[in-house]
């Protein structure tokens, strides 16, 4: 099994208190995508950060669909307030939390 190295995933807090997850490097590793999504949601909740930007990229749209399916799971859906798909950039999804 491949060793999980979260540093291969762009995951950082910017000055505006928003988390950003870029999935380009792990687009073909389903279990790693789920782990990264779980980790960033958990981090946002722990640090009370109100916004996550997820970048699945443009591509064929399959990765974006996977992310949206993940976010639609009942156990995940109850953790956030709403999601927004960027109208201007098809390759971004925003997840908002209420604290």
Count of structural domains within the chain:
1
Residue 39, pLDDT score: 96
Model's pTM, two decimal places? 0.80
Report yes or no on 72 lying in a domain. Answer: yes
Enclosing domain of residue 33:
6-12+21-91
Kindly state whether residue 98 falls inside one of the protein's structural domains: no
Q: 33-64 pLDDT, tens per residue? A: 999 999 999 999 999 999 999 999 888 889 99
96 in a structural domain? no
Q: Pick the more confident residue, 13 or 62.
A: 62
Q: 99 lies in a domain?
A: no
Q: Which residue has the higher pLDDT, 58 or 74?
A: 74
Establish if 26 belongs to a structural domain: yes
Residue 46 lies in a domain: yes
Given a cut of 80, whether residue 13 has pLDDT beyond it is: no
Label residue 36 exposed, middle or buried (CB < 10 Å: 0-12, 13-18, 19+).
Answer: buried
Measured between alpha carbons, how far is 99 from 81 in angstroms, rounded to an integer?
9
């Amino acid at each position: 099994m491949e060793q999980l190295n979260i540093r291969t995933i762009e995951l950082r807090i910017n000055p505006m208190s928003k988390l950003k997850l870029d999935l380009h490097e792990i687009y073909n590793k389903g279990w790693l995508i789920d782990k990264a999504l779980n980790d960033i949601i958990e981090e946002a909740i722990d640090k009370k950060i109100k916004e996550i930007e997820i970048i699945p990229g443009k591509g064929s749209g399959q990765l974006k669909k996977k992310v949206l399916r993940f976010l639609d799971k009942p156990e995940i859906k109850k953790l956030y307030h709403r999601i927004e798909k960027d109208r201007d950039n098809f390759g971004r999804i925003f997840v908002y939390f209420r604290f």
